[in-house]
Chain A
Amino acid sequence: MYNCSRRSTLRLAALAASALALGASGALAQDKLRIGYTISKTGPYAGGAGITTLPNYELWVKDVNAAGGIKLGDKRLPIEIVEYDDRSNSEEAVKAIERLANQDKVDFILAPWGTGLNLAVGPTLNRLGYPHLAVTSVTDKAPELAKRWANASFWLGTSAQISNALAELLGKLKSEGKIGGSVAMVSVADQFGIELASAGREAFKKAGLNVAYDKTYPLGSQDIQPLVKDAMAAKADVFVAFSYPPDTLAITEQAQLLKFNPKLFYVGVGTAFPLFKGKFAANSDGVMGIGGWNADSPALKDYLARHKAATNKEPDRWASSITYASLQVLQQAIEKVGKVDRAAVAAEIRSGTFDTILGKVKLKDGLLQEVWGVGQWQNGEFYALAPTSLPGARAPVVPKPEWK
């Protein structure tokens, strides 16, 4: 029932002791960079945190320490981690952030997983003055929040960006005569699903598409078949689900069972997970979903290999590489500033240009602009398709092949 694992409690105790010792002898020269984070190791968010966030934090720390650490002035400081489990609870996450800042006195804090927790800890990180790299959060509030919180940056775009990218692709395919104009849409009834669906409704209309079926389902539904059957009855060429990982897998499995094979099949979070390919194998071919990456990029290929070697699993093809890139940005910003000046580092993150595995990264108004909204499984890789204007966008395969 305690908020942190025993190991981190022990570490905390050791840190407290060393902090006391340091305090007595005044400010000694730093020989480590202490970085803390709170992550959902238990509770409903553990599934997402365990694939996208935690492995990348671990990989990054390993990579940085293997290279000697982060360069401050003329010295390289290795990273030391302080970790808490927030149990997928926003109050716990806020408490953990307070503890990291006030008791552990860490130099920097990494973001928790998910839109909900990032919004929950946002005000606290802002008040404490720590840079907040809210990577795994998708919300239409992001531009407004980035204005309000000078320390914050957002990396996955807004719900509207994802829906717009999808609508743009659908509009283009319709004008090419590859799909008809009607869409069947289902969405999970929580903030994520509601925002994406309402942005989608608007964007589809603008792109000249007609939403023939539009229903929500409660979080944690254990049988999705009725929904898929009704969507099937709508006889739309395009099926869109703004869903969470368990539902994404269940919807795809049911569609396959019912031989529901619309020309374009788009499902939500989880499509980009290696798990999806593992479960559906050849049947994943042609399935579209949120995210995607430029799989031909040598930097990302190298990242994929390192991720596999270090964590024994593949990264997801949406937010994983962005998470890693955001950490590279943090490192380069710290090195440019040259000291633990959190306000200056936060400002540098928002104004600087950085070299990352995604290529050159430059935020605009605190938001990463180049975010993929649609990807597609093609021959065992999840390629990014839209926005079609971004470099590296691949051509979609439509109609999707029959289920095997």
Chain B
Amino acid sequence: MLLIDILLPGLVLGGMYALIALGLTLQYGVARIMNLSYGETLVAAALSAFSLFMGLQLSPLLALFLAVPAAAGLNWLLYRYVLMPLLRRHSDGGAREIDSILATFGLLFVVQGIMLVAFGGQYYSYSYLSIPVVVLGSTLAVNRLVALAFAVAIGAAVYLALTRTRVGTAVRALAVDANAARLVGIDVALLSGLAFAAGGALVAAGGVLVSMFLTFNAAMGVVFTMKALVVVIMGGIGNVMGTLAAGLLLGLVETAVARLVDPGLTLAATYALFLLVLLVKPAGLFGTAQR
């Protein structure tokens, strides 16, 4: 069954793309900070998971309980003490974006440098839940399925939190217009910090989960930042469901092209799809055009 053999592995790959992009959609889409050190956070989480697994035999799934709160805390501190003073300087969105890009660009090298000192440049990889499971005649790896399940669960949870809770509504108001949100009594600084910290927690979860099946080193962060950026922009900035859909779509297209056309064209297919979406729907699949 070639169709199922494309569909299932495609969704699993797409789930991984969505997983690594979900945090960025909160940080960029809601907190309005284009975090260029995003991939480094992911790699740091992956390296932590590796160390915990090799040193203490701690399962990466349990490591999530350590990595996620730690990342949320660190990202909140980062927002509160590094990014907020920068953002306060301007009320204009464009200038804020430039400041945050420059600051996080610097941060990228700081985080990367620390990881290089601690871990060196070599590759890391370990095996966890690398067990085959046959679903509808197609063989999949349990660790990748777990990542897909987490992507869907996290995506749904964040979506519900944003649409069904009072805080979520306030966060969305913030994403639309921070100045107007202030007028109706929303604590902008607090909520932006919250969204940024939540984004950091999600990317750490992504890092821990992908470490189960990807090979990584301290210098690889930018690869993940790029992929996440493509997924987030394609899905519509700040739209959680859009990110999930865009990630899954990318996975499906890559797998289909690899099986039906030529594995050498997967990268070309990714960017062709990206271009097509931007041409047809410039605000992304689920995005709404602004003004």
At the interface, yes or no: B104 with Cβ under 8 Å from chain A? Answer: no
B255: chain A residues within 8 A (beta carbon): 223, 225-226
A27-44 contact mask (Cβ, 8 Å, vs B): 1 or 0: 000000000000011111
Q: Is B258's CB under 8 angstroms from A227's CB? A: yes
Cα of A247 to Cα of B151 in the assembled complex, Å: 24
Chain B residue contacts of A221, Cβ below 8 A: 263, 266-267
Contacts A189-B264, A227-B263, A246-B215 given; does A259 touch B132 at CB 8 Å: yes
* Bound Cα distance A208, B5 (Å): 34
Closest B residue to A226 by beta carbon equals: B258
When the two chains form their complex, are residues A215 and B127 in contact, meaning their CB atoms are under 8 A apart?
no
Contacts of B140 in A (CB 8 A): 257
The reply to whether A44 and B219 form a contact with Cβ atoms under 8 Å apart is yes
Closest CB in chain A relative to B222 CB, distance in Å: 9
B219 close to A47 (CB less than 8 A): yes
Does B127 contact A280, Cβ atoms closer than 8 Å?
yes
Set of chain B residues within 8 Å of A1, measured between Cβ atoms: 109
B254 adjacent to A230 (CB under 8 Å): no
Q: Is A46 an interface residue (CB 8 A)?
A: yes
Q: How far is the CA of A278 from the CA of B5 in the complex (A)?
A: 30
Residue A270 is within 8 A (CB to CB) of chain B in the complex: yes
Whether B16 lies near A279 (C-beta < 8 A) is no
11 contacts between A and B (CB under 8 A): A46-B121, A46-B122, A218-B268, A220-B267, A249-B215, A253-B213, A256-B130, A257-B139, A257-B140, A257-B141, A278-B126
CA distance A222 to B263 in the complex (A): 12
A46 touches B218 (CB 8 A): yes
In Å, the complex CA distance between A215 and B264 comes to: 7
Interface flag for A143 (CB, 8 Å): no
Q: Which of A49-57, A129-137, A392-400 contacts B (4 or more CB under 8 A)?
A: A49-57
**Within B121-155, which residues are at the interface with A (CB < 8 Å)?**
121-127, 130-132, 139-141
**Of B125, B215, B219, B267, which contacts A218 at CB under 8 A?**
B267
Known contacts A218-B267, A222-B13; A49 and B121 CB within 8 A of each other: yes
B259 at interface by CB-CB < 8 Å: yes
B9 at the interface (CB under 8 A from A): yes
- Looking at the assembled complex, report how far the CB atom of A7 sits from the nearest CB atom of chain B, in whole angstroms: 11
A178 contacts B by Cβ under 8 Å: no
> Which residue of B6, B214, B268 contacts A222 across the interface (Cβ within 8 Å)?
B214
Q: Is the CB of A226 within 8 A of B112?
A: no
For B13, the chain A residues whose CB sits under 8 A away are 222-223
Distance of A254 Cα from B121 Cα, bound (Å):
25
Task: Determine how close the nearest CB of chain B comes to the CB of A48; give it in whole angstroms.
Answer: 8
Cβ-based interface call for A273 (8 A): yes
Q: A50-B122, A273-B123 are in contact. Are A215 and B215 (CB under 8 A)?
A: no
* Residue ranges of A at the interface with B (Cβ–Cβ < 8 Å): 1, 40-44, 46-47, 49-51, 54, 88, 186, 189, 215-218, 220-223, 225-227, 229-230, 245-246, 249-250, 253-254, 256-259, 270, 273, 275, 278-281, 313
Task: Give chain B residues whose Cβ lies under 8 Å from the Cβ of A186.
Answer: 263
Given A40-B121, A220-B223, A258-B139, do A47 and B217 touch, yes or no (CB 8 Å)?
yes
Name A245's contact: one of B5, B123, B126, B127 (CB within 8 Å): B123
Complex Cα–Cα for A49 and B219 (A): 12
- For the complex, what is the distance from the CA of A296 to the CA of B153, rounded to whole Å? 52
Verify B254–A223 contact, CB threshold 8 A. Answer: yes
Q: Contact check, B264 vs A42: say whether CB atoms are below 8 A apart.
A: no
In addition to A42-B112, A226-B263, 10 A-B residue pairs with Cβ atoms within 8 Å of each other are A47-B122, A50-B122, A220-B267, A229-B5, A245-B123, A249-B125, A250-B213, A257-B132, A257-B141, A281-B127
Across the two chains, which residue of chain A brings its CB closest to B119? A50
Partner of B127 from the list A88, A217, A279 (CB cut-off 8 Å) is A279
Chain B residues with CB below 8 A from A254, complex form = 141
Chain A residue, CB-CB nearest to B256: A226
Interface positions, chain B 170-229, Cβ under 8 Å from A, are 213-220, 223, 227
- Chain B residues contacting A270 (CB-CB under 8 Å) are 123
Chain B residues contacting A216 (CB-CB under 8 Å) are: 263-264
- Whether A229 contacts B215 by the Cβ 8 Å rule is no
Residues of B within 8 A of A223 (CB): 9, 12-13, 16, 251, 254-255, 258
Say if the beta carbon of B116 comes within 8 Å of chain A: yes
* Closest A residue, CB atoms, query B5: A229
* A215 cross-chain contacts in B, Cβ below 8 A: 262-264
Check B259 against A229 for contact (C-beta < 8 Å). yes
Q: With a CB–CB cut-off of 8 A, which chain A residues contact B12?
A: 223
| CB–CB B264/A51 < 8 A | no
| B120 proximal to A (CB < 8 A) | yes
CB-defined contacts of B215 to chain A, threshold 8 Å: 245-246, 249-250
Q: Which residues of A contact B213 (CB under 8 A)?
A: 250, 253
A47 with B132: in contact, given A223-B9, A229-B5 (CB under 8 Å)? no
CA distance A159 to B122 in the complex (A): 24
**Which residues of B236-283 have CB atoms within 8 Å of chain A's CB atoms?**
251, 254-255, 258-259, 262-264, 266-268
A51 pairs with B219, CB closer than 8 A: no
A254 to B68, CA, bound (A): 29
A254 and B141 CA atoms in complex are apart in Å by: 8
- A226–B259 contact, CB under 8 A? yes
Interface 0/1 of B81-124, CB less than 8 Å to A = 00000000000000000000000000001001000100011111
User: Do B123 and A253 touch across chains, with their CB atoms under 8 A apart?
Assistant: no
Q: Which of B116, B132, B214 contacts A46 (CB 8 A)?
A: B116
- Give the docked Cα–Cα distance between A218 and B126 (Å): 23
